[in-house]
Amino acid sequence: MSAQPIQSSDEELRDSVPADSGEVVFPTQGEVAEEMRQLDFLLGDFRVEYTNLTTEKVTTGEAKSSTRPVAGGRFYEMTQYVPVPGIIATWLIGWSAVDASFACFYYDDWGHHGTFTSPGWTSDGHFRISGESAVFGGRHSFVDDFTVVDADHFVKHGFIAVGDDLIAGDRMHCYRI
């Protein structure tokens, strides 16, 4: 079996224009995916009341969350500032037309990172993101389940997937400020 060369997208573009035309054709950026509107409830600044259910003793506290459009609105960047245990976590979420789902990337200032996907809002009124993260020295599967209470309040329930079971990990009430 011999290796076949793979054309780069530049070669494909070049090869799509007749050589004698002298015209250079570049692809256009296109419009922002309409599906991004599904995430508008995340936009803005929020005061967060959180409950951490993963510790031996359940802990509560307040944090901040801020979400802004980036890359011309093709992605939303949500940054959470959690004073205890002292972590800054960032989500980058955008619509993938190729995959017909949301692509989500997570990283924080402790070095944790993960990739997630979501089909979008479900018929039961939930926006669920699921995937895997490298955290605390291992790989773990997570599900984050968002519901909107009203225009200024949404709730996120976080779960850790253990086999077929979802174990509650945290709860965040986010209030627009």
Supply the DSSP symbol for 54.
S
Tens of pLDDT, residues 2-33: 566 655 555 555 555 555 667 777 778 889 99
Domains present along the chain, CATH in parentheses: 34-176 (2.40.128.20)
Does the model's pTM come out above 0.85? no
Could you tell me what percent of the chain has a pLDDT over 70?
88
Tell me which amino acid residue 126 is. Answer: H
* DSSP H helical ranges for the chain: 9-15
The CB density around residue 50, as the number of other CB atoms within 10 Å, is: 21
Mean pLDDT value across residues 147-174 = 96
* Parallel/antiparallel/unpaired status of strands 165-176 and 87-96: unpaired
Kindly report, residue by residue over 110-158, the tens digit of the pLDDT. Answer: 999 999 999 999 999 999 999 999 998 899 999 999 999 999 999 999 9
**E strands of the chain, at which residues?**
44-52, 59-70, 75-82, 87-96, 101-108, 113-118, 127-135, 138-150, 153-162, 165-176
pLDDT digits (tens, 9 = 90+) for 82-97: 998 899 999 999 999 9
